[in-house]
Amino acid sequence: MLFRSMQIVADGGLVDGRRYLSEALLKEALTPQYEGDTEIFGYMSFGLGFGLHNHNFPSPTPTSVHWGGSGGFWAMADPTQHVAIAYAMNRGLEPDFSEDELELMDPRQLRFWDVMSELVPCL
């Protein structure tokens, strides 16, 4: 389901001949709805249900949207490249929210992020 939702974004709201989101709604979803400080992540930009590219919490590409969660799952879609990617593992790791070190991304998730940052712009 995670991949399918990103596939819908990557393909302009239309997948396998079925329209899930109108072009107008998708455009609204990819438009910043909130930009500002968050308690855990610092400064972020959000569309409707997606993290948007910004200097503090960048997407793999400036035109992609992304989101992840506890345990390390992560997904992104780049509508300009028509690429959707989702990553989920069998054994999730909990982030370290200690005061000494804030580890927000699972190391496996971070490696995946780095590879996508290099790969997607080349498509």
Per-residue pLDDT of the chain (123 residues; tens, 9 = 90+): 678 889 999 999 999 999 999 999 999 999 999 999 988 778 889 999 889 988 887 888 888 998 877 666 788 899 999 999 888 777 666 655 555 444 555 676 777 777 777 877 776
Question: CA-CA distance, 46 to 50, in Å (whole number)?
Answer: 6
Question: Would you give the distance in Å from CA 39 to the centre of its chain?
Answer: 19
Q: SS3 breakdown of the chain: % helix, strand, coil, rounded to 5?
A: 25, 30, 45
Q: What pLDDT was estimated at residue 28?
A: 93
Element (H, E) at 51: strand 51-52
Question: Residue 64, Cβ neighbours under 10 Å: how many?
Answer: 29
Structure tokens that stand for 113 in this block:
């992020």
Report CA torsion sign: 98, 101, 103, 107: negative
- Which pLDDT value is given to residue 34? 93
